[in-house]
Structure 1
């Protein structure tokens, strides 16, 4: 076991035998080979408090959106290589709740929504199935506290949150404060 503390451009590490060892920080990010990992098409269920953001969908005039924070987390956890190759779908610009996306997987033995790398060694496929990556835990660890992944499920390769959506339900929550909720409900009935 070792314990490290930053000191200017190096890390001072105390090793298990009590000695101190200094290592240089590398400014380079290590290469990650996405091509050697299977991918799994999944549906992610998410929830967020939107007061701090300028909408859900990424926009040209701001990067302060829920979707921008979500993709930052997906990239940071290396669950995707980039947005363009992630097969990402949502119902629409303002919809929230469920998205579909291809994520890095640990399932070399296949399974629902899994696509194996083209250059896969045949011996690798015969490995025993392991549990899937803990997507919810990985993402919630790096997402802001007001954006949460609630659950995930594997889905068929062609499934799309946008085109296979059968219904949509919108719920809006706001602080009650000094609002006359009964009067507001009566007014809303007149619009129907």
Structure 2
């Protein structure tokens, strides 16, 4: 399938989710996330959800990490839509967050994180069985991930599609993708 068709399909699937559906799917995503080996993880970059887009509620993961793995530094992004580049900040708490023009929560006072995170939790709309993903089309995460040799893990409410047809050289493959029912592992 083409990215444009997958993007439209995924947004339609998400918009059809009820609050009860979302709660159940988010709880299942968290249960799958808990299965990851975090023993060598010192810092973890995670996106913050756009609530009106019905994205996975990564605050559940953040809260669990803070309780169960307080030694892991949580890193969150801040997008510059003029340059299409993200900066990365150590997560303080929800009180430090303010929604930007696109309703994406972003840090306001958190210190800049300048090293490479050990794991990145990547947003997506859809993904295929080879580990390629479809996002909103701005390329923020592909640019960010292209500079990293770190674990790249997607979060999706829905299972993989067979193939994204219009993958190009700048698309960065995921290492894994967590869904409510399983963790996909992608190998070369």
**TM-score, normalization by structure 1:** 0.23
Larger radius of gyration: 1
* TM-score, length of structure 2 as denominator length: 0.23
Whose helix proportion is higher, 1 or 2? 2
